[in-house]
Structure 1
């Protein structure tokens, strides 16, 4: 599988990290990680974002469900964005390269045991991110069809697992 997550330590906390190189300018990737219309294509929740340090980001996961809120921890236009989301911290760094842009995404985990589950979810989401950037249509595969084998592969690689899987009746693997 391409573009796998790595399980890393960030200041003593468990995290997953993705690095991907794109042949697109930094501004294009910035739009894809900050524009709610573009986020709706690949991010796992609808997002309303106040792009400034200390701003609010609102996540609506399911229709009719109560939205959750996070805080913008850092916002450097076109360069980096980080915020909280339900006990996790998400950070995006966009570094221009001669060929386009290096995209680095780090999800600092609130719970170590969610690593395999979160890595698999982001792998599926970032595949949609790739398709969005390339101008391709969305995948026709359902999230659970795409997610399950990726999740199992992260467990096989030794990523921490054991947290209940949402929508799986409390199943942990």
Structure 2
């Protein structure tokens, strides 16, 4: 099973998962998918009712089948179309977009509040960015999140990432 560039770095007192993915679409198109509620709901592990395009408080809703859990979030940095940073519960997500060939190098720096979660988180983002890539290609496959991920190779991905990032 193919894994993407991922590594774990100490960010005292937390750990930051750095996950890199090459996408065949320009930064502006990827930016829209990262910030617009209608697009996020098609690929991300959460839903939101407000665009993530301006600093301020918001709510990101974890979705797992019929279960929905609201988590507080604060958008802290927005530099369109190259940088988006926000809290998600106790975690911090920093999305960096840079032109790469005819597409975008997407780098996610996910600072984890809980140690020992990196391989699970990497597997989840792997599936999410696979869905994102298909969405951007115009060939959406539907969101894969929560328990549904188990039916799409999440356990195997978790094991593969555990061997890569420890």
Question: Please, what TM-score do these two structures have when normalized by structure 1?
Answer: 0.80
Of the two, which has the highest radius of gyration? 1
Give the TM-score taking structure 2 as reference length.
0.83
Provide the secondary structure at the position in 1 that maps to 2:84: strand
Q: Pick closer, same or farther for the CA change 1:32–1:98 going to 2, 3 Å.
A: same
Q: For the residues of structure 2 that align with 1:101 and 1:66, how far apart are their CA atoms?
A: 31
More strand by proportion, 1 or 2?
2
What is the aligned length? 158
Corresponding position of 2:158: 151
Question: d(CA) in 2 for partners of 1:11 and 1:94?
Answer: 25
Gap change, CA 1:81 and 1:140, over 3 Å in 2: closer
Extract unaligned runs of 5+ from structure 2: none
Label 1:124 to 1:64 Cα distance change in 2 as closer, same or farther (>3 A).
closer
Higher RCO, 1 vs 2 (CA within 8 Å, ≥6 residues apart): 2
1:10-49 aligned at under 5 Å gives the runs: 10=11, 13-49=14-50
Q: CA RMSD in A?
A: 2.2
Q: Secondary structure at the match of 1:131?
A: helix
Corresponding residue to 1:70 among 73, 76, 79: 73
